[in-house]
A and B are shown apart, each in its own frame.
Chain A
Amino acid sequence: MSLIAKPKRIPKFHRGNAACPGCPIPREIDILLEELGPKTVLVVPAGCTTVVMGDMSGMPATVPVVHSAFAAAPAIASGIVRALRMRGDYDAYVVVWAGDGATGDIGFASLSGAAERNEDIIYVCYDNEAYMNTGIQRSGLTPYGAWTTTTPEGKREFKKPLPFIMAEHKIPYVATASIAYPFDYQAKVRKAKQIRGFRYIHLLSPCPPGWRFDASLTIEVAKLAVETGVWPLFEIENGEFRLTGISKNLLDKKNRKPVIEYLKLQGRFSKLTEEQIKEIQDAIDRMWEEIAARVKK
């Protein structure tokens, strides 16, 4: 008999779901549910997860799932959490699990309203940077230069800086995370669950078909987004800004990989000119100057 026991983990989000190959969403939900436990309600607006959750014949989730119209999830979650608290249930978590379109575009008024009311909700935006479920159309969170079916020449506008916009709502907790750094992500969910009020976690979720990279490279791409500084990992707890994980070492530009390493893996950036790449690099550097100012504060 071996003295080494194999770690055994029962998934909280079952395999055999309807996600595309290489999609990080199932793993992201699994980590979330592992941390939050079975007394969690997921509110899922229209998007990729609507499909990932299966149909009326069964679902991969092990917790109650409330499907929602595109713009309605934060308000539905507000209603659920108020009703649970009214019935004396104070330890259940109500989570909105929403894509970037539902979060930053069509559902933004509802999100902003729920944040302003400081509803006792954990909001997770899985950001795959376009309307992927409808077939890769640009959203307000699609990055500059990216090809989508509605930006065939590349997007002309920059990505909406949603984590910072949410932080300006003065909610108790805002964090960014990445599937390439699951412990950092899980630690942020753990921290969020210990706080009351509106908590916002923004997950960059690389999408193989939408970003045009091979399904085996999801973690690679996610990792490069952090290493190049495109996607800084941080948390803002009661207004206090803190870099986390490897992002702590990226304030110095020397430590950041050139953005081209991130861009060149993705077909959506294949038409970028040298000039545009420089523009993107400059924008990243400017963002890090702003971050440095926040860190000093």
Chain B
Amino acid sequence: MVQVLKRKALALVGNHAVAYAVKQAKPQVLAVFPITPQTTMLEKLAEYIASGELKAELIKVESEHSAMAAIYGAALAGARVFTATSSHGLLYMTEMIYWAGGQRVPIVAAIATRAIASPWSILDEHQDFLSKRDAIWIQIMAENVQEAYDLTIQAFRISEDERVILPVMMGFDGFILTHTMEKVEVLEDYEVDSFLPPRKFNLIDFSDPVGIGPLAQPDDYMRVRYDAMKAMERSKSVIEEIMREYEKLSGRKYDLVECYKCEDAKYIFVTMGAWSGDAKVAVNMLRDEGIEAGLLKIIVFRPFPKEKVQEYLRSAKGVVVFDRDYSYGSGGILANEVKAALYGLQVPVYSVIAGLGGKDVKPIHFQKVMEDLVNEKLEEERWLL
């Protein structure tokens, strides 16, 4: 029996949907520095705090480096914490991103993805987000405003789970999601309270003083990093478990990946983020043409869901990975991940680089690429200029 719940629905832009989720998660300390396209989220959070709807300290820091440093400090002292940034802000706080990951502190950060200068661009790209892939952070990415809301709430729970204890970054596409208004079904506050138990993590205990982040001799350092690797691996099943629990609460299904008509598909797109919606439209257009297309959407990028990628793609005739990012001198970042996951499986993987600096990508672009693949006209790597 499926229980149909009548949900409160709001019309929210992405930034406000994430702010709403943050308000319900009740962090005690936030530190945020303005940057386009994240700024309206910061403004909304400041409003919530000023009105008393969110009882928290908002540290109005002088830089993103200090934003991450401040919530790192607050997280050590037992507070649930949150920050949000984008592009240059994310790069500027990178030192502290690594510090938080290395120390393994529960932190949630929302990243409005955006291209990186030079030259200047305030528009969408995944380069900023993916440049943090080795920082010992769990990275998840939303396709739409609803997912940005849902994943933010789940991020707090995943981050603080005692089997995980890792910071979590929730990426959502700058402007395409941050500034787009969608209908969002929100949970009631008491439901979020039941899903998110009070935080236990605290390292500042005056009755048991410890040194946090001291010098490590090589043996100790290696061991600490090994433990982080294990925690990251372990988090896969914990994330799945938490997502199942969230599904019971919300009625919305989440997993490490989403398979859209990919079970029986011969030709499969792999995407992350907002344009997954365009890819779904393209899948349907291709199916109308008689091409058995499907989509594998990566929701959790770190830890990379290698097993799921193998499971869904192992018998594909062709896989096309769309990257809104690039590792210069190597290839599409997601494409490289997919190729590594499929190593030894003889699945042809094609890479498409598109949408850099906010360049518009539409379903027809996906459709055309797949038609070319079917007609054996697609290069191993294609840039949609």
- Chain A residues in contact with chain B, CB under 8 A? 38-39, 41, 43, 50-51, 53-57, 59, 61-69, 71-80, 82-87, 92, 109-110, 112-113, 116-117
**Which residue of chain B lies nearest to A40 when distances are taken between CB atoms in the complex?**
B206
> How many pairs, one residue from A and one from B, have CB atoms within 8 Å of each other in the complex?
160
**Minimum CB–CB distance for A155 against chain B, Å:** 28
CA distance A113 to B56 in the complex (A): 20
**Is A86 a contact partner of B95 (Cβ separation < 8 A)?**
no
**Is B61 a contact partner of A61 (Cβ separation < 8 A)?**
no
**Is B96 a contact partner of A50 (Cβ separation < 8 A)?**
no
**Is B215 a contact partner of A82 (Cβ separation < 8 A)?**
no
B216 is an interface residue with CB less than 8 A from chain A: yes
**Which residue of chain B lies nearest to A59 when distances are taken between CB atoms in the complex?**
B211
Give the residues in chain A near B210, CB-CB below 8 Å: 64-65
Give the residues in chain B near A63, CB-CB below 8 Å: 206, 209
The 9 A-B pairs with the shortest beta carbon distances in the complex, nearest first, are A79-B73, A113-B62, A75-B66, A79-B74, A75-B69, A83-B77, A76-B73, A83-B79, A72-B69
**Which residue of chain B lies nearest to A58 when distances are taken between CB atoms in the complex?**
B211
CA distance A76 to B77 in the complex (A): 10
**Which residue of chain A lies nearest to B60 when distances are taken between CB atoms in the complex?**
A117
CA distance A38 to B95 in the complex (A): 30
Given contacts A54-B215, A82-B29, 10 further A-B contacts (CB under 8 A): A53-B214, A56-B220, A59-B214, A71-B65, A75-B67, A75-B70, A83-B204, A86-B29, A113-B63, A117-B59
For window 34-76 of B, CB contacts with A under 8 Å fall at 56-57, 59-63, 65-67, 69-76
**Is B212 a contact partner of A66 (Cβ separation < 8 A)?**
yes
Give the residues in chain B near A39, CB-CB below 8 Å: 206
Query: With A59-B214, A67-B213, A69-B96 in contact, is A116–B206 under 8 Å at CB?
Result: no
CA distance A228 to B331 in the complex (A): 64
- List, sorted by A's number, 21 A–B pairs whose CB atoms are closer than 8 Å: A54-B211, A55-B216, A59-B214, A61-B209, A64-B204, A66-B76, A69-B96, A72-B95, A75-B59, A75-B66, A79-B73, A79-B74, A79-B76, A82-B29, A82-B70, A83-B76, A83-B204, A86-B79, A109-B63, A110-B62, A112-B62
Give the residues in chain B near A78, CB-CB below 8 Å: 31, 59, 61, 66, 70, 73
**Is A65 a contact partner of B77 (Cβ separation < 8 A)?**
no
**Is B57 a contact partner of A86 (Cβ separation < 8 A)?**
yes
CA distance A77 to B29 in the complex (A): 13
**Which residue of chain B lies nearest to A74 when distances are taken between CB atoms in the complex?**
B66
**Minimum CB–CB distance for B54 against chain A, Å:** 12
Interface majority SS (helix, strand, loop, mixed), chain A: mixed
Give the residues in chain A near B60, CB-CB below 8 Å: 117
CA distance A39 to B28 in the complex (A): 21
Give the residues in chain B near A110, CB-CB below 8 Å: 62-63, 65-66, 69
**Is A51 a contact partner of B31 (Cβ separation < 8 A)?**
no
Query: With A64-B204, A67-B211, A83-B79 in contact, is A55–B69 under 8 Å at CB?
Result: no
**Is A109 a contact partner of B211 (Cβ separation < 8 A)?**
no
Give the residues in chain A near B212, CB-CB below 8 Å: 64-67
Give the residues in chain B near A73, CB-CB below 8 Å: 69
Q: Which of A51, A68, A80 is in CB contact (< 8 Å) with B74?
A: A80
**Which residue of chain A lies nearest to B224 when distances are taken between CB atoms in the complex?**
A56
Residue from A67, A79, A83, A112 with most neighbouring chain B CB atoms (10 Å): A79
**Minimum CB–CB distance for A199 against chain B, Å:** 18
Q: Which of A51, A56, A75, A116 is in CB contact (< 8 Å) with B216?
A: A56
Give the residues in chain A near B63, CB-CB below 8 Å: 109-110, 113
Give the residues in chain B near A72, CB-CB below 8 Å: 65-66, 69, 72, 95-96, 99
Q: 0/1 per residue, B90-129, Cβ < 8 Å to A?
A: 0000011001000000000000000000000000000000
Give the residues in chain A near B62, CB-CB below 8 Å: 109-110, 112-113, 116
Q: Which of B70, B96, B213 is in CB contact (< 8 Å) with A66?
A: B213
CA distance A72 to B217 in the complex (A): 23
Give the residues in chain A near B59, CB-CB below 8 Å: 75, 78-79, 82, 117
Query: With A53-B211, A61-B209, A75-B61 in contact, is A68–B69 under 8 Å at CB?
Result: yes
CA distance A74 to B72 in the complex (A): 12
CA distance A87 to B79 in the complex (A): 8
**Minimum CB–CB distance for A174 against chain B, Å:** 20
Give the residues in chain B near A109, CB-CB below 8 Å: 62-63, 66
Give the residues in chain B near A113, CB-CB below 8 Å: 61-63, 66
Give the residues in chain A near B75, CB-CB below 8 Å: 79, 83
Q: Which of B57, B67, B214, B216 is in CB contact (< 8 Å) with A65?
A: B214
Query: With A41-B204, A54-B211 in contact, is A69–B69 under 8 Å at CB?
Result: yes
Q: Which of A43, A67, A82 is in CB contact (< 8 Å) with B214?
A: A67
Give the residues in chain B near A85, CB-CB below 8 Å: 57
**Is A79 a contact partner of B70 (Cβ separation < 8 A)?**
yes
**Is A80 a contact partner of B73 (Cβ separation < 8 A)?**
yes
Q: Which of A53, A69, A74, A80 is in CB contact (< 8 Å) with B76?
A: A80
CA distance A43 to B214 in the complex (A): 11
Query: With A66-B73, A75-B69 in contact, is A56–B57 under 8 Å at CB?
Result: no
**Which residue of chain B lies nearest to A60 when distances are taken between CB atoms in the complex?**
B211
**Which residue of chain A lies nearest to B56 when distances are taken between CB atoms in the complex?**
A86
Residue from B70, B204, B220 with most neighbouring chain A CB atoms (10 Å): B70
Give the residues in chain B near A77, CB-CB below 8 Å: 73
Q: 0/1 per residue, B197-228, Cβ < 8 Å to A?
A: 00000011110011111111100100000000
Give the residues in chain B near A38, CB-CB below 8 Å: 206, 209
CA distance A59 to B213 in the complex (A): 11
